[in-house]
A and B are shown apart, each in its own frame.
Chain A
């Protein structure tokens, strides 16, 4: 005990010294005054339970736990795998979970009342990219004829144009062409729809105002929901012919020899925002310090994951391969987490940015990212009424909370655990990325003009159209 006390005094002294040094380096008296103002109080709730789905992009949670970042913030976190996205969301809403790894569309969908209506907010974006579309071996054999080849290998990105003849063939035979995605408001649903529509295949509309939430109105490809870990088994059983899902469930199909990933979401939309860390608004209001501390721990985890050019990734894969996290084989997870991606068996290509956790400001909750999801909800009829540009901005501002993120980041900077240069310039950041070009169909997205963006698509509801 005496020993402990001595240690603590020592640690305290070292810390004071460090802070002193930092403030000495930052010579401006104004900034150091600002730094001390950023000190965050103790967490209101110290024992927390967070939910996740078995996907590699839950890594920031696992790393924050295993590397002790949560504990350093005085948080005692239990991580619990959830059965599917709906269960996960419901448990966050009714308070059984304090927060969870969520699809970016979930807080937005819940807030606008698509599905369960509830106020969910997010102050932390968990990753960029990380998904892919896989088709069964049989479909790939039919598709491959239409894919341009170079040097004996398919030219990437593979567009849905190559799938179109296959779907037409099914249609002429009167057979439904079925594909799986993970949740109606999932990134995967929108990505799969985006890819199909870009290739001229209609993925179908939703019409919630008429009670039709199947999303199959005038569809050429019928999409349905399957929980991520069950995707390979469902495709193997022949219930679906392909799917869009996060890792490791695409690489799992390659390893099992039951399917071929044809395109990654990196190729559909370069550096697309993917998962977020969502909490209920009432929880966040009750536990503001806890929330900031959670975000701090997760920012550190994300930094660790991307540090030194992905140097820590093998260790991260080892953590994820544990059965309480993702639990798939090391090789399967490593295939995509360490900067490569295997398409057809043996066709392993470099995709260094397949999983991005921190660089390119991946963790910052941009309003424009939220608005992109809202435009896709409108495009496919989940939002049945026309909405004004300002409505999109208002919803984004309700759900995405860069203010909380900024507090967490500033506190890390003050503690010397992060550098200001690693974050956006908080004073001037508008939350809108400049128009983004890298989509598979070359359509430019400008988050400040959602309705003009919707008018650019050949397939999908426009600004004023209604079903």
Chain B
């Protein structure tokens, strides 16, 4: 669809030789670069003038250096993991030779997680929390949108819980998870469940509210069509309600995912659960001269990932939206 739109535009431009349009194109590419360059300049200028007790505030160069260090550390740790497995096999073989009834077992590497493994942990956690929240919020939102009574009943609760900071939930979630989630061989670690549930609790609201609003403001004509065709409840939802409220639902989902990502980092910091938040906290605690630069790497990574998540949602929205001409940003 995008391609079909794009080809005529280009042909049109070539034919008409319209300079302003090319200028606009250049601008679209150049302006962000200008913005970034100015930002980098200001940043390194500011960094030179901020002295902390951990040394100078890191500028772009220091941050880049730490980025490469983190990559090196990751590779070194992977090498260590390989050797760990090699040693383990030798040891297992030795034990089997001595005690043939022994069932050798390969244990996971016991080294500390690297920066990139922490990123993966965080991403995985936020996605699980977000999906759980969406599975609850979208159906609930549809119910609220369809039925005025349901909405009136649930609305006070939404208004009450929506403004609650995730960090207020955290102690409760932690205690409840450790009390309820008891198993001798757990599939997920408790810290993962705690983080995911906290994320889910905060991801619920924007999706819920936006879905309800989207569903309740469906075009009257469409509703009448549904009535005329005498659609049953299920086909009414799948053919009329869902397609027409997709834009609103996605606005909610994108807000939710953004909030979920922010909440997760804070929750990991506070609860010392594995992930990027813990990485930041650990570095702060270490108080080495490189700590600030490493935290800065994490900050930029967090921002970048948040941005990518949002773009991914946008792509999905484009894919599922029936109105391909709507301006999405």
Residues of A within 8 A of B (CB): 4-5, 7-9, 11-12, 42, 46-47, 54, 65, 68, 71, 74, 76-79, 81-83, 87, 94, 96, 229-230, 232-233, 236, 252, 256-258, 321, 323-324, 326-329, 332
Other-chain contact of A327, B89, B93, B111, B282 (Cβ < 8 Å): B282
A257 engages B288 (CB within 8 Å): no
Number of A-B contacts (CB under 8 A): 80
A229 engages B288 (CB within 8 Å): no
Other-chain contact of A8, B94, B283, B285, B289 (Cβ < 8 Å): B94
Task: Tell me the nearest residue of chain B to A9, going by C-beta.
Answer: B97
Q: A46-B105, A328-B288 are in contact. List 20 more A-B contacts (CB 8 A).
A: A5-B97, A8-B90, A8-B97, A9-B97, A46-B107, A54-B286, A65-B110, A71-B88, A76-B107, A79-B112, A81-B282, A87-B272, A96-B190, A230-B285, A256-B54, A326-B286, A327-B282, A327-B286, A328-B286, A328-B287
* A-B CB contact pairs (8 Å), 17 listed: A4-B93, A12-B94, A54-B285, A71-B91, A76-B88, A76-B107, A78-B110, A82-B272, A229-B286, A232-B53, A258-B53, A323-B294, A324-B282, A327-B283, A327-B288, A328-B288, A329-B288
Q: Please give me the 10 A-B residue pairs with the lowest Cβ-Cβ distance, nearest first.
A: A327-B286, A324-B112, A256-B53, A229-B285, A78-B110, A76-B107, A329-B288, A8-B94, A83-B272, A328-B288
Q: Mark B67-89, 1 if CB is under 8 A from A, else 0.
A: 00000000000000000000111
For residue A321, which residues in chain B have a CB less than 8 angstroms away from its CB? 288
What does DSSP make chain A's interface, helix, strand, loop or mixed? mixed
A71 engages B87 (CB within 8 Å): yes
A85 to chain B, nearest CB (A): 14
For residue B110, which residues in chain A have a CB less than 8 angstroms away from its CB? 47, 65, 76-79
Residues of B within 8 A of A (CB): 53-54, 87-91, 93-95, 97, 99, 105, 107, 110-112, 178, 190, 272, 282-283, 285-291, 294
B285 engages A257 (CB within 8 Å): no
A83–B190 Cα gap in the complex (Å)? 17
For residue A81, which residues in chain B have a CB less than 8 angstroms away from its CB? 282, 285
Task: Tell me the nearest residue of chain B to A327, going by C-beta.
Answer: B286
A66 to chain B, nearest CB (A): 10
A4 engages B89 (CB within 8 Å): yes
A87–B272 Cα gap in the complex (Å)? 11
A82–B288 Cα gap in the complex (Å)? 18
For residue B97, which residues in chain A have a CB less than 8 angstroms away from its CB? 5, 8-9, 12
A233–B291 Cα gap in the complex (Å)? 14
A12–B96 Cα gap in the complex (Å)? 13
Task: Tell me the nearest residue of chain A to B112, going by C-beta.
Answer: A324
A46-B107, A328-B288 given; A236·B283 CB < 8 A: no
A457–B90 Cα gap in the complex (Å)? 59
B90 engages A323 (CB within 8 Å): no
Choose among A8, A42, A83 the residue with the greatest number of B CB atoms under 10 Å from its CB: A8
For residue A47, which residues in chain B have a CB less than 8 angstroms away from its CB? 107, 110
A63–B81 Cα gap in the complex (Å)? 17
Task: Tell me the nearest residue of chain A to B189, going by C-beta.
Answer: A96
A327 engages B90 (CB within 8 Å): no
B255 to chain A, nearest CB (A): 31
For residue B178, which residues in chain A have a CB less than 8 angstroms away from its CB? 94
A123 to chain B, nearest CB (A): 22
For residue B272, which residues in chain A have a CB less than 8 angstroms away from its CB? 82-83, 87
For residue B285, which residues in chain A have a CB less than 8 angstroms away from its CB? 54, 81, 229-230, 327
Choose among A65, A256, A257, A329 the residue with the greatest number of B CB atoms under 10 Å from its CB: A329
Task: Tell me the nearest residue of chain B to A83, going by C-beta.
Answer: B272
A439 to chain B, nearest CB (A): 32
For residue A7, which residues in chain B have a CB less than 8 angstroms away from its CB? 90
B93 engages A8 (CB within 8 Å): yes
Other-chain contact of A236, B53, B111, B282 (Cβ < 8 Å): B53
A42–B291 Cα gap in the complex (Å)? 41
For residue A329, which residues in chain B have a CB less than 8 angstroms away from its CB? 288-290
For residue A236, which residues in chain B have a CB less than 8 angstroms away from its CB? 53
B278 to chain A, nearest CB (A): 9
B12 to chain A, nearest CB (A): 56
A252–B286 Cα gap in the complex (Å)? 10
A256–B286 Cα gap in the complex (Å)? 13
